[in-house]
Structure 1
Amino acid sequence: MLTSLTIKNYALIDNLQVGFNNGLSIITGETGAGKSILLGGLSLILGKRADLSSLKDTSQKCIIEAVFDVSNYNLKSLFEAEDLDYESNTIIRREILPSGKSRAFVNDSPVNLSSLQLLGERLIDIHSQHQTLQVVSNDFQFQIIDALADNEEILQNYKSEFKKYKSLQKELNELLNFQAEAVKEHDYNSFLLNELLEANLVAGELEQLEEEHETLNNVEAIKEKLSMSYQLLSDEQIGVLPTLTELKNNLQKLKEYSPKYDDLFQRVQSSLIEMDDVFGELDVLQENLEADPKRLELVNAKLQVLNNLMHKHTVSDISELIQIKNDLDEKVAVTENLDTSIQKKQTEIDEKVAVLNTISKNIHDKRSKAIPQLSGQLETILEGLGMPNAQFKIDLTVSDHFQSNGKDVLSFLFSANKGGNFNELKKAASGGELSRIMLAIKSVLAKYIQLPTIMFDEIDTGVSGEISNKMGDIMLEMSQTMQVFSITHLPQIAAKGHSHFKVFKEDVNEVTQTNLIKLNHDERIVEIAQMLGGIEMSDSAIAHAKELLN
């Protein structure tokens, strides 16, 4: 509920501070006194765009601040979603600077207009005779029926499952699109993969093959070098082994004369052992080295395959080819397994469809039971509001498609006259009738859900005293569970309020200002008497005013 409102430097308002209570608050004042200015200032709090013309003094900033008690509005999740600090007494402030720049704050945290509008529509509903489009909205009509059907919990469950269903559908579409693209590439990827598989790729194989190729390609030259090395080691005249053996024998004799020759002997002995080992390896290498044209041909062919593949895939190493092979293998496998994945996803969707069908049927059944109750209540209320022949024809049909609130298609038809044709609300009801229908609907809703503060702006225009009295009774009944404001020119409604405020103009230092004051009991008598009989109040007008207040 709105607990206080402060307006500074806005239009004809210099500095206005007023507090409000729960229940039904009446706002009266002569035409042109500034009620529209008050609503304009309040609408800025609700997220309406501002302009520089709103400033009373263009050298000073305009400040509009409202305090709301939101403890019963279940708004914590909204505050969290908008990244705002939640306070049970929430302060919304709007500033318009002389530069024309506008700023908004919720509990001192800066917010943009979209966040302010989102919060504002949960706090105040300003309704006038010219603002009846909501009642012809299909979403709003569903909201009415679902309130009576007590569908809040089941709708939350439906919306949760519907969100999962939409997510599964998106995943299926992505799989199908991927499959369509993958099939185009599948044959080519399979061809590339088979090429790599046939190559029997082994990490490090390229270096081994290149070494083997070098050996097989130069067998005769290697044999010649091995033979020469063998002779250099073993020739009896100049061979290294005979020479080292003779050197070793000489040093062996020397060390018998002195231990200082022993080190030389040991080093030569080690060299002889090493050369003897080299000699043995040369012998083995000569025996094992043979020309093998067939093997050379195979190695050449394998190297050609590997080099072609590396050139084709623009890589320089077999390990990179192996990685490409693995990637292709995965792509081909995914493509080949897509049918299974798609079928699995479709099964999940079918299961979700079954769940949604069950929930949406429960929603439909509860709505169907609530519709006669809603029609009856609305027609009873409208009869008291001067529309005795008002009739509603509300039909639900089940569509083939899931929607955000079930599978129902709603037909909300109305007839204002006996024997008249049923038609859509916007075609079947006049502006004044739509206002009374909206009042009836809001009064029914107030019994079932927590509505925000509602401000009725002269919706009683053009109605008789008897009907206005009934409208006042409806607003008074609504105010038992919510905060209601009524801006009115009718004394019958003004007398119903728990609180009564008057909007008026006054000249201060030759400057016209709009102000708002709360009337006490005696002031209310005067105000209602003037509403009944004009400025020159008669005794009967005063008596009538007292009677209305009592």
Structure 2
Amino acid sequence: MLTHLTIKNFALIEQLEMNFSGQLSIITGETGAGKSILLGALGLVLGKRADLTSLKDKEQKCVIEAQFKIDKYNLKSFFSDNDLDYEDVTIIRREILPSGKSRAFVNDSPVNLNELQELGDFLLDIHSQHQTRELSEEAYQIQILDAVAGNSEILGQYNIQLSEYKSVKARLKKLISEKDALAKEQDYNSFLLEELLAANLKEGEQLELEHIYEKLNNVEFIKEALDKSIALTNEEQIGIIQNIKEVKASLQKISGLTPEFSELAERVSSILIEFDDISNELYNLSEKLVNDPEQLDLVHQKLQTIYSLQKKHQVNSVEELLVIQNDLDTKVVLADDLENTINTLESEILKHVESLDVLADSISVNRKNAVPILTEKISSVLSQLGMPNARFQFEIKPSETYNTLGKDEVQLLFSANKGTDFGLLKKVASGGELSRIMLAVKSILAEYSKLPTIIFDEIDTGVSGEIAHKMGDIMKRMSAQMQVFAITHLPQIAAKGQQHYKVFKSAFGESTISELKLLSEEERITEIAEMLSGKDISDSALNHAKALLN
């Protein structure tokens, strides 16, 4: 419930501060007096965008502050979800700075416009001629049915399932896309992997194979070099070993004379031992060296395979080929894992579909059961509003598509007069009829759901006399369950309010401002009399005004 409103420096309003009570409040005033300004200010509180044209004084900031009593609206979860401090009496403040920037606060915590709009939907419903078009929208028609059908709780369960279903479906779509992308490369990746696996690569083998290849490919040349070295080493008369032995014998003869000769003798002895070992190694290598064309061919083939794979994959080592082999193996395994995951998700989706269908069927049955109740209630209200022959039909058809409101497609058909065929509401109902139907719908919804504060902006356009009386009575009945504001030009409706506010303009020098005033009982009589007869108020108008108020 809106309890307090403060407006500073907005359009024609310098400063306005007003308290509001519950039930039915009337707002009247001449055309252009500023009623639209008041609605514009409340629109900013609800999160509408603003610009510098909203500022009366371009050098000062505009501040609009609205205070709401929200303890009966069950909004604690909203405040928690948006990390806001909950207060039973919540204050929304909107500021527009001279720079053009806009700021919004809920209980002094900054919020963005999306959060403000979402909260505003729970608090205030400004109903204008434009909003009457909602009646022609399928989603709004379904919401009306759901309110009467009591579908709120089951719709909550349905939407939890729908959210999970969409999440799993999105994952499935992504995985299928990944699988398709992998499938295009799968055959080629598998071929490359098999090729690498067939090569049976091992770390460090390339260098070893290259050494073996060089040895086998140069057997004769190596054999010749080794044999010559053996001959030079072991020639009986002039071989290197024989000569070293003689050097060693000569030095041993004088080694006892001085330490330096002894040291030289020891060094030659060491050389002899080392060279003797070299001679044995040369002999062993020569003996093992075999001309093996078959082994040479095998090594050559293996090296050619390695070189070919390195060229294909543009790398320079076996180690890099092994890294590529592991990557390909991962991709091939991933494709198989994706298939398994996709199968699992498809099973999950089938379970969600089963649950959604059960809930959607229950929702649909409840709606169908609510149709006769709703149509009877709307017809009853419209009969009071001068439309005794108005008839409605709700056509509910199953759909294959899951949306947030279930699986029903709904059309509201309308006939205003006897003997006329039913047609789509938006095509066959006039503007005046739509206004009365909307009022009827709102009054019925007030019985079944906790509507926010509602402001009817000239919903009485196109009606007068007894019908205006009835519209006023309906608004007054609604106000027993919720806060209702009615902006009106009709005295019959103005007289129904528990509070009556007047919007008017005042001139101060070169400046004009709009003001809002709570009228006293005497001022109400005068205002309603003026609505009846104009500026020149007659005694009969005053008496008529008193009669209306009584």
Q: Give me the TM-score of the superposition, normalised by structure 1.
A: 0.87
1:18 corresponding residue in structure 2: 18
User: Unpaired segments of 5 or more residues in structure 1?
Assistant: none
Cα distance in 2 for residues equivalent to 1:377 and 1:116: 34
Shift of 1:251: 8.0
In structure 2, give the amino acid aligned to 1:511: S
The 1:232/1:482 distance shift into structure 2, 3 A limit, reads farther
Q: Which residue in the other structure is 2:518 paired with?
A: 518
In the alignment, which residue of structure 2 is the partner of 1:190? 190
Query: CA separation in 2, counterparts of 1:176 and 1:161?
Result: 22
Q: Which range is displaced more, 507-516 or 63-72? A: 63-72
- What is the identity, as a one-letter code, of the residue corresponding to 2:519? L
1:105 matched residue in structure 2: 104
Q: For residue 491 of structure 1, what is the aligned residue in structure 2?
A: 491
Corresponding position of 2:92: 91
- Which amino acid is 2:160 matched to? S
Could you tell me whether the CA contact under 8 Å between 1:93 and 1:106 is conserved in 2? yes
Is residue 416 of structure 2 the alignment partner of residue 412 of structure 1? no
* AA partner of residue 142 (structure 1): I
- Separation in structure 1 between the aligned mates of residue 269 and residue 21 of structure 2, nearest angstrom: 116
Task: Give yes or no for contact 2:61–2:95 (8 Å, CA) kept in 1.
Answer: no
What residue number does 1:422 align with?
A: 422
Whether contact under 8 Å (1:50, 1:96) holds in the other structure is no
- Structure 1 stretch 219-228 or stretch 353-362: which is displaced more? 219-228
Structure-2 residue corresponding to 1:350: 350
Deviation larger for 17-26 or 429-438: 17-26
1:385 is aligned to 385
**Is contact 2:247–2:268 with CA below 8 Å preserved after alignment?**
yes
Separation in structure 2 between the aligned mates of residue 482 and residue 280 of structure 1, nearest angstrom: 113
1:398 equivalent in structure 2: 398
What letter matches 1:33 in structure 2? Answer: A
For residues 71 and 269 of structure 1, the distance between their equivalents in structure 2, rounded to whole angstroms, comes to 109
Instruction: State the 1:174 CA deviation.
Output: 4.2
Q: Which moved more, 1:499-508 or 1:259-268?
A: 259-268
Q: Percent identity?
A: 53
Q: How does 1:43-62 map to 2 (within 5 A)?
A: 43-62=43-62
Alignment map for 1:356-505 (pairs within 5 Å)? 356-505=356-505
For 1:35, the equivalent position in structure 2 comes to 35
Compute the displacement of 1:295 (Å).
1.0
Q: Which amino acid aligns with 2:91?
A: T
SS of the equivalent of 2:459 reads coil
Which has the higher mean CA deviation after the structures are superposed, 221-230 or 266-275? 266-275
More moved, 347-356 vs 72-81: 72-81
Task: Give how far 1:46 is off.
Answer: 3.0
How many angstroms apart in 2 are the aligned matches of 1:344 and 1:510? 76
Q: Secondary structure at the match of 1:4?
A: strand
Structural mapping, 1:68-217, within 5 Å: 68-75=68-75, 89-95=90-96, 97=98, 101-107=100-106, 113-217=113-217
Distance 1:536 1:337, change over 3 A: closer
Q: Is the 8 A contact 1:216 1:291 kept in 2?
A: yes
Deviates more, 1:255-264 or 1:154-163: 255-264
Structure 2: distance between partners of 1:146 and 1:197 = 65
Residues 509 and 178 of structure 1: is their aligned pair in 2 closer, same or farther, counting only changes over 3 Å?
closer
Per-residue CA distance 1:474-504 (angstroms, 9 max, x = gap): 2233233332211123334333333321112
Contact 1:396–1:408 at 8 Å: present in 2 too?
A: yes
SS of the aligned residue for 1:64 comes to strand
Question: CA separation of 1:75/1:238 partners in 2, compared to 1, >3 Å: closer, same or farther?
Answer: farther
- Considering only aligned residues, what root-mean-square deviation do their CA atoms show, in Å? 3.4
Letter paired with 1:106: F
1:7 is paired with a residue whose SS is strand
Partner deviation per Cα, 1:153-178 (whole Å, 9 max, x = no partner) = 32222223223333444444445545
Kindly provide the CA deviation profile for residues 287-341 of structure 1, in whole angstroms up to 9, marking residues without a partner as x: 2221211111111111111111111111111122222233333444555676655
Structure 1 residue 203, shift from structure 2 partner: 2.0
Q: Superposition pairs for residues 254-333 of structure 1, below 5 Å?
A: 274-333=274-333
Residues in 2 aligned to 1:265 and 1:4: alpha-carbon distance in whole angstroms:
118
**Pairwise CA distance, 1:136:** 1.2
Q: 1:170 to 1:50 in 2, by over 3 A?
A: closer
Once structures 1 and 2 are overlaid, which stretch shifts more, 110-119 or 62-71?
110-119
Deviates more, 1:187-196 or 1:17-26: 187-196
Tell me the CA shift for residue 121 of structure 1: 3.5
Task: State the 1:539 CA deviation.
Answer: 6.3
CA contact (8 A) 1:460 1:488 kept: yes
Greater shift in the superposed pair: 129-138 or 52-61: 52-61
Q: Secondary structure at the match of 1:353?
A: helix
Partner SS state of residue 448, structure 2 = coil
Partner of 1:417, secondary structure, is coil
Cα 1:244/1:11, change in 2 over 3 Å: same
Amino acid at match of 1:381: V
Tell me, yes or no, if the aligned pair for 1:134 and 1:140 is still in contact at 8 Å: yes
User: Which amino acid in structure 1 is aligned with residue 451 of structure 2?
Assistant: L
Rounded Cα–Cα distance in structure 1 between residues aligned with 2:157 and 2:423: 33
Relative distance call for 1:364 and 1:251 in structure 2 (3 A) is farther
| Amino acid in the other structure paired with 2:30 | E
Q: Which residue of 2 aligns with 1:506?
A: 506
TM-score w.r.t. the length of structure 2 is 0.87
What amino acid sits opposite 2:303 in the alignment? L
Distance change >3 Å, CA 109–CA 236, structure 1 → 2: farther
Residue by residue over 1:198-226, the C-alpha shift from the partner in whole angstroms, topping out at 9 and shown as x without a partner, is: 22222222111111111112223333343
Shift of 1:71: 4.4
Maintained 8 Å contact 1:454/1:485: yes
Instruction: Please give the alpha-carbon distance, in whole angstroms, between the structure 2 residues aligned to 1:65 and 1:269.
Output: 109
Matches of 1:118 and 1:64, distance apart in 2: 18
Contact 1:45 1:94 in 2 (8 A): no
Structure 2 CA distance for partners of 1:184 and 1:511, relative to 1, 3 Å: closer
Q: Does 1:219 align with 2:222?
A: no
Deviation digits for residues 42-75 of structure 1 (CA, Å, limit 9, x no counterpart): 3233344445444434454444333334444455
Contact 1:33 1:503 (8 Å CA) reproduced: yes
Structure 1 contact 127–457 (Cα < 8 Å) conserved? yes
Matched residues in 1 for 2:269 and 2:452: separation? Answer: 108
Give the deviation of 1:534 after TM superposition: 5.0
Partner Cα separation in structure 2 for residue 142 and residue 275 of structure 1: 105
Single out whichever of 86-95 and 358-367 deviates more from structure 2: 86-95
CA distance in 2, matches of 1:160, 1:379: 35
Q: Secondary structure at the match of 1:202?
A: coil
Sort the Cα spacing of 1:70 and 1:279 in 2 relative to 1 into closer, same or farther, 3 A: farther
Q: Which runs of 5+ in 2 are unaligned?
A: none
Secondary structure at the aligned position of 2:323 is classed as helix
Aligned to 1:3: 3
Secondary structure in structure 2 of the residue aligned to 1:201: coil
